[in-house]
Amino acid sequence: MAGGVIRTTCPYCGVGCGLHVAADGTLTGDPQHPANCGRLCSKGAALADTLASDGRLLYPQIGSRNANWHEALDRIAAEFTQVIDQFGPDSVALYVSGQFLTEDYYVANKLMKGFIGTANIDTNSRLCMASSVAGHVRAFGEDIVPGCYEDIEQADLVVLVGSNLAWCHPVLYQRLVTAKEQHKTKIVVIDPRQTATYNIADLHLAIRPGSDVAVFAGLLVHLAEHGQCKHPWTHDFATGYAATLDAARMTAPTFVDAAAIADVPAADLKQFYGWFAATERSTTLYSQGINQSSSGTDKVNAIINCHLATGRIGRPGMGPFSLTGQPNAMGGREVGGLANQLAAHMSFADPADVDRARRFWNAPRMATRAGLKAVDLFDAVLEGRIKALWILNTNPAASMPRAERVRAALGACPFVVVSDCWPTDTTRFADIVLPAAGWSEKDGTITNSERCISRQRAFRQPPGGARPDWWMVTEVARRMGWASAFDYRGPADIFREHAGLSAFENTGPHRRVFDLGALCELSASQYEDLPAVHWPLPRGTSEPWSSPKRLFGDGRGFATPDGRAR
């Protein structure tokens, strides 16, 4: 806080724009934040309109009556304990949100996976980011976005795939428009629809929905046939190139075949292929049109393959770039927010990772296998396998696929807890409703699409009895018998532990890229003043903390057993 101004972060999308909040409540863009450099979109500019308290949930409710926090938390802890004792740990579940701060996500995952002993905790980010996570892990060995926002300005060609940047990530769209005006950046938009983003495109490929793999398989074939694949690079720094090219040739032997599959003019597709082949500084931005698909992971890898085969990754103006939807979808992934993940980019597939998390947490009932993913989780509720469910900061009765089935599941579940700021379609099904603090009232961190960790600082008091999510989860954990493991005084304590786990036994040739070791001993004042920083930040990184914004530019550092990309 300087001169009465509080620096915080916008809660809307994965861009992660910095905000200045003046003493009179005026909100403006933070000129020093690397995501937006002072810019705001229409949503960010109207944030003050979201601060009204009318209709807010102010007190815990049990049934239809107001209750105090002690009564509500005691009841939740007792119900969860009874269900676990009778039916086992897999009979309970949490469904959480990309609106969580990282500290909220961390304690919820620690409670479920380390202490209750089940991985039945999933997030609404599952619906938008799971394909990218799987694609990153498959290609890089870890869930890593290799580039940064500056690549948008430094690229000579920007390819937008399944991304209506103008509406969904407006500040990045503003940066791209400026780049086009100043540097004549070519823009290709690949989308079945003519979205608002189409207006700045030099070429629009209105492909048949679902044909993205064929388009990028055809591109890979074209790049190989025109001598653009960097054979020494792929030989030294990647595996599987020959088999991938063979598979691409089977999918789309020529650009004419790819055009037929995608149902676009062959001349237009040939133009795109020619531009990509001739332009080393090429960045591919993709979003929900790629991820929200039954073949989303294959689409992600088809894009990444073209960048790996040409060595166009991790250097200025080039690389594949996944644009997250929610403000902290990446922060959630860092702490194992998905049911098939462990914290700190560790995996249930590796017994050593499971044991490492168990020992760091001193966890009495460490989960050893993946839990139920979002859709499967609510199916299990409907089938009676999950007896107690806690939903935090999301509204699945309205937002989940097959919402009518989700509502049926909520109606059938013996015990439902919902934490939110306002009454929703989901709170109607709750046995207990907990009043949650809103974004302007919460303190913690988020991580945006370019691996940049930013502080979200509270600038208002929560109304009534509303409380932050990390506090609710911690209080339930204490009442279930784990007070010493959840002895947090505030979000700084949680963040230090999160950073410590990322660095724990993270050494040697196969170390994880995600490492916040430099931040695991932050003082309270250092946490309060933490600037926007990109990870990784291993121990030894000097203060003010600096880290490379791009990864893999030298072909090294992939988190695979042999250190090479796949």
Whole-model pTM over 0.75: yes
What is the pLDDT confidence band of residue 211, given thresholds at 50, 70 and 90?
A: very high
% of residues, the chain, pLDDT over 90: 94
Residue 135, C-beta contacts closer than 8 angstroms, at least 6 positions apart: 296, 297, 299, 300, 301, 304
Residue among 503, 113, 497 at smallest CA distance from 342: 113
Residue 140, C-beta contacts closer than 8 angstroms, at least 6 positions apart: 146, 552, 558, 559, 560, 565, 566
Residue among 443, 494, 177 at smallest CA distance from 335: 494
Mean of pLDDT values over 345-364 = 97
What six digits make up the tokens of 63? 């049934």
End-to-end CA gap in the chain: 45
Bridge partner list, 5 = 2
- pLDDT per residue over 511-554, tens digit each? 999 999 999 999 999 999 999 999 999 998 877 777 789 999 99
For residues 155-171, b (16+ Cβ closer than 10 Å) or e, as one string? bbbbbbbbbbbbebbbb
Q: How far from 367 is each of 80, 354, 432, 473, CA to CA, in Å?
A: 17, 8, 27, 18
Residue 331, C-beta contacts closer than 8 angstroms, at least 6 positions apart: 100, 101, 102, 105, 337, 445, 446, 447, 453
What is the pLDDT confidence band of residue 164, given thresholds at 50, 70 and 90?
A: very high
Q: Position of tokens 């919902």?
A: 418
- pLDDT per residue over 72-82, tens digit each? 999 999 999 99
d(CA 119, CA 371): 4
pLDDT mean across residues, the chain: 96
pLDDT (0 to 100) of residue 3: 60
pLDDT (0 to 100) of residue 509: 78
pLDDT (0 to 100) of residue 231: 87
- pLDDT per residue over 229-250, tens digit each? 988 999 999 999 999 999 999 9
pLDDT over 60 at 227, yes or no: yes
Query: Tell me, what DSSP letter sits at residue 165?
Result: H
Mean of pLDDT values over 463-488 = 98
All structural domains of the chain: 6-50 (2.20.25.90), 61-124+328-461+471-507 (3.40.50.740), 129-322 (3.40.228.10)
What six digits make up the tokens of 136? 């990153």
d(CA 120, CA 438): 25
Contact predicate 499/334, CB 8 Å: no
- pLDDT per residue over 24-69, tens digit each? 989 999 999 999 999 999 999 999 988 888 999 999 999 989 999 9
pLDDT over 60 at 1, yes or no: no
pLDDT over 70 at 437, yes or no: yes
Omega prior to 89 cis, within 30 of 0: no
pLDDT over 80 at 2, yes or no: no
Residue among 190, 540, 133, 86 at smallest CA distance from 332: 133
Low-confidence winner among 63-72, 131-140, 207-216, 534-543 (lowest mean pLDDT): 534-543
